[in-house]
């Protein structure tokens, strides 16, 4: 059992427990805090995978910005008192969980078997991965590719963010301001 494996199981277990806590807690604040735990554990997994920049962005954007937005809205709406009946019960819940287990089984089946005959699971790819452990993908490589080959998607992303910005302003604008 090498150190990478031990760390993987620690971070994996933490992220799974956090994820289950997200869907189990009644109060949305507890769910949001559990989601932050999951995000941090996933940042740890990204570090194990050698994606240091992705891990940093995960902590800054997800655990920082997005979760602050969630917590802000939860506190703004004062939801704690309203969410007592926030979950399905009885038969419907059972059906949902059975469907979820089926989905998990499919995902695990794909993860274990389907890769055998593909390029990802081949011997060459395994050797390449072993070589990469000594020579990981640097932030430099990401930046170079982002601003050359994928420049157009990058610019389109900025348009998406602009559209989101304008959309949010339009959505939450007070209606009586238009009268002035």
Tokens of 109: 């089946």
Binding pattern for the stretch 101-120 against other proteins, x by CB under 8 A and - elsewhere: x-xx-xxx-xxx--x---xx
Of 35-94, binders to other proteins (CB under 8 A) are: 35, 38-39, 42, 45-46, 48-51, 53-54, 57-58, 61-62, 65-66, 69-70, 73-74, 76-77, 79, 82-83, 85-88, 92-93
Q: State how far the Cα of 107 lies from the Cα of 122, in Å rounded to an integer.
A: 20
Q: Please give the angle made by the CA atoms of 121, 38 and 115, to the nearest 5 degrees.
A: 10
Nearer Cβ to other proteins (45/178) = 45
Q: State how far the Cα of 75 lies from the Cα of 138, in Å rounded to an integer.
A: 39
| Least Å from the CB of residue 180 to other proteins | 20
Q: State how far the Cα of 120 lies from the Cα of 133, in Å rounded to an integer.
A: 16
Of 114-173, binders to other proteins (CB under 8 A) are: 115, 119-121, 125-126, 128-129, 131-132, 136-137, 141-142, 145-146, 150, 153, 157, 160-161, 163-165, 167-168, 171-172
Q: State how far the Cα of 124 lies from the Cα of 136, in Å rounded to an integer.
A: 17
| Least Å from the CB of residue 167 to other proteins | 5
- To the nearest 10 degrees (0 to 180), the angle between helices 67-77 and 28-48 is 180
């Amino acid at each position: 059992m090498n150190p990478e494996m031990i760390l993987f199981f620690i971070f994996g277990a933490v992220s799974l427990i956090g994820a289950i806590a997200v869907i189990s807690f009644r109060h949305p604040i507890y769910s949001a805090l559990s989601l932050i735990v999951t995000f941090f554990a996933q940042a740890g997994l990204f570090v194990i995978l050698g994606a240091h920049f992705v891990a940093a962005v995960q902590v800054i954007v997800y655990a920082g910005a997005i979760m602050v937005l969630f917590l802000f809205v939860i506190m703004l709406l004062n939801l704690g008192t309203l969410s007592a009946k926030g979950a399905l019960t009885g038969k419907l819940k059972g059906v949902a969980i059975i469907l979820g287990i089926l989905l998990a089984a499919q995902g695990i089946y794909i993860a274990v078997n389907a890769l055998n005959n593909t390029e990802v699971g081949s011997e060459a790819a395994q050797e390449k991965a072993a070589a990469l452990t000594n020579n990981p993908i640097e932030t430099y490589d990401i930046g170079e590719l982002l601003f050359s080959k994928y420049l157009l998607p990058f610019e389109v992303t900025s348009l998406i963010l602009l559209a989101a910005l304008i959309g949010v302003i339009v959505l939450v604008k007070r209606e009586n301001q238009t009268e002035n």
